[in-house]
Amino acid sequence: MLIEESQALHFIDHYQTLLGYAALSGGLLKKAGPQVDGLALMTTARNAIAKDPALLTKAMAAMAQAGEQLPEDMQQAVASLRVNHWVYLRDTTGYSVLLETGDREAGYAVKCLTTPLKELMGDSGAIIEAGLLEYHGQIVCDGLVSLGAWVGPNYRSGFNATLAEFRTNGLFFRDRLLPVSMQKPAAPKRRSAGGSKKSGV
């Protein structure tokens, strides 16, 4: 359920440093004001990087100028960063099960850094916001997690059925995330006999 300790500490050290430079490079520290909460600032910086890859380039340049280099494995990891609302369905002995929300269809075997996801959240069966990354052949949660909503038993049953379909269809991944641009193809537009478009409901 957790990645190897030395990998986790390596990740945390460089990830936090990068987010600090991103907060400075993106002007996020000024916007946050003097009473800024460190965890909230890191989350804001992470979300900003996920939305604007140019900020990652700026932050890395600022690090290099200060004599700090982001290691190659961390560059690759952050390049794969996806921040999203995920269905945190349950835990196994080796990983937490997270499902895509929205248009994408996939499930992931997700490892944590130093604290299991269930311990962070208090329970499983929830919609959470978190950053997931590909790191050393694993999918890793960055530990900056917030609760969206708890999932009731009927919804959980439906998500379990969805997970079974994903496994059957080869859409359950242990080592890679679907890219941001990958979405389900749009359904073809239906036309009436007369050729006018009909809107779906």
The domains of the chain are located at 5-78, 82-173
129 burial via Cβ count (<10 Å: 0-12, 13-18, 19+): middle
Question: Residues near 178 by Cβ (< 8 Å), separated by ≥ 6?
Answer: 100, 104, 106
Q: Which of these ranges, 28-32, 33-37, 193-197, has the smallest mean pLDDT?
A: 193-197
What's the pTM? Answer: 0.86
Single-letter code of the amino acid located at 185: P
The pLDDT confidence band at residue 53, using thresholds 50, 70 and 90, is very high
In whole angstroms, give the CA distance from residue 52 to residue 57: 10
Q: Which of these ranges, 15-24, 51-60, 91-100, 181-190, has the smallest mean pLDDT?
A: 181-190
pLDDT at 32: 63
Question: Residues near 19 by Cβ (< 8 Å), separated by ≥ 6?
Answer: 41, 42, 45, 46, 49, 59
**For the chain, percent of residues with pLDDT exceeding 90:** 81
DSSP letters along 38-105, please? HHHHHHHHHHHHHH-HHHHHHHHHHHHHTT----HHHHHHHHT-EEEEEEEEEE-SS-EEEE--TT--
Contact (CB, 8 A) for 62 and 119: no
Choose among 68, 20, 71: nearest CA to 44.
20
DSSP element (H, E) containing 7? helix 5-25
